[in-house]
Chains A and B, each alone.
Chain A
Amino acid sequence: MAYREKLAWLTLGAMLIAYAVYFTWLALAMRQGEPTLLGILLPFGLAAGGQGILVAGAGAVLAASARRERQDRADERDRAIARRGATAAYYVLLAGMILVGVVMPFGEPAWRIVNAALLAIVVAEAGRLLLIISSYRRGWHG
């Protein structure tokens, strides 16, 4: 497996774990009444921080075990795959922001809008990483 593919798997896994925990907490908190914006900040900070620690820690292990591969600069195929993932994520995030930034403000409180924006980012990033993984798996050449 290419180093960058392994990195994509790692980032995807860490992100899904961190934000599954966060949005589960949010769903439970909503059942008990509307959470405040500041009340959301701590759990969000923990989720983002947790993801960062997971990626940094596992990434260091990955880098150590693939030392030579990691030092290779991204070649044209790596760059093309990265761009393909990012372009798809752009359209996903664009659609998400149209829903969140344009439709939601007409009936939803600010804290819901912000969390919906966060969810849109998570979905876009998951899409980007999945497309990168799929491109490596299927031998996409650009």
Chain B
Amino acid sequence: MSNIIYIECYRANMEKSLMAYREKVQWVSLATMLLVWGAYFARLAASLAAGRPIPGETLGGFAGAVVLLVVIQVAAIVAIAIHRPSEAEQPADPREREIERRAGSGAYAVLSLLVVAVMLATPLLTIVAPVALGRPSGTVAAMLVGNALLAALVLAAIVHSLWQILLFRRQS
């Protein structure tokens, strides 16, 4: 009898260590966003600090970041799906849908607040900042507003992934 109990406890512990497929996907999403967008915005900040915010350069950097993000995420998710195809094929169950909704609710609040903040900061971004950077042009102003909105989008997406990970971890 004690052997049976031991085996059951052993198996329970083994089963406990496996992460849900959707949680793994969120970890991948979070890590790649932090890496890729972290590098992009660090590069943008450096060029702004050096007083040379060239919209064309920013465009190239942005396109590169998007391509890199897509390639890394697709490759990682395909690798996860190949490793455990049965889990990848299963549709989200009610718990996973609830986790996604909770995180989506939080991310929406973050995104809408940040977008409103960017809108309110627009006079600063379009009038004051280009002059301070020594490049008082409409193109630079548009670039600054666009990147501010992009930053809002990225932050909300990070919150979305992080929130789901925290909810998965709490319930595991």
Chain A interface (Cβ < 8 Å from any Cβ of B): 37-38, 80, 82-84, 86-91, 93-94, 97-98, 100-102, 104-106, 108-111, 113-114, 117-118, 120-121, 124-125, 128, 142
Contact = CB atoms under 8 A, between A and B. Distances in A.
Given A37-B123, A108-B142, A117 B157 contact: no
B115 A121 contact: yes
Contacts of B105: 82-83, 86-87, 90
Interface residues on B, range: 35 or more
A142 B97 CA distance: 9
Contacts of B141: 109-110
Nearest to B66: A102
A86 B153 contact: no
A101 B94 CA distance: 34
5 contacts: A86-B109, A87-B100, A97-B150, A117-B115, A117-B119
Interface residues of B, dominant DSSP: helix
B138 interface: yes
Nearest to A113: B145
A64 B104 CA distance: 32
B33 interface: no
A110 B153 contact: no
B160 interface: yes
B25 interface: no
B112 interface: yes
B152 interface: yes
Interface string B125-169: 111000000000010011101111110110011001000000000
A97 B143 CA distance: 14
B162 to A, nearest CB: 14
Contact of A93 (B103, B112, B122): B112
B116 A121 contact: yes
B96 to A, nearest CB: 13
Nearest to A92: B108
A54 B103 CA distance: 31
Contacts of B104: 83, 86-88, 90-91
B44 interface: no
B152 A97 contact: yes
A33 B145 CA distance: 22
A106 B140 CA distance: 10
B102 interface: yes
Given A90-B107, A93-B108, A114-B145, A80 B59 contact: no
Given A105-B143, A117-B149, A121-B115, A83 B122 contact: no
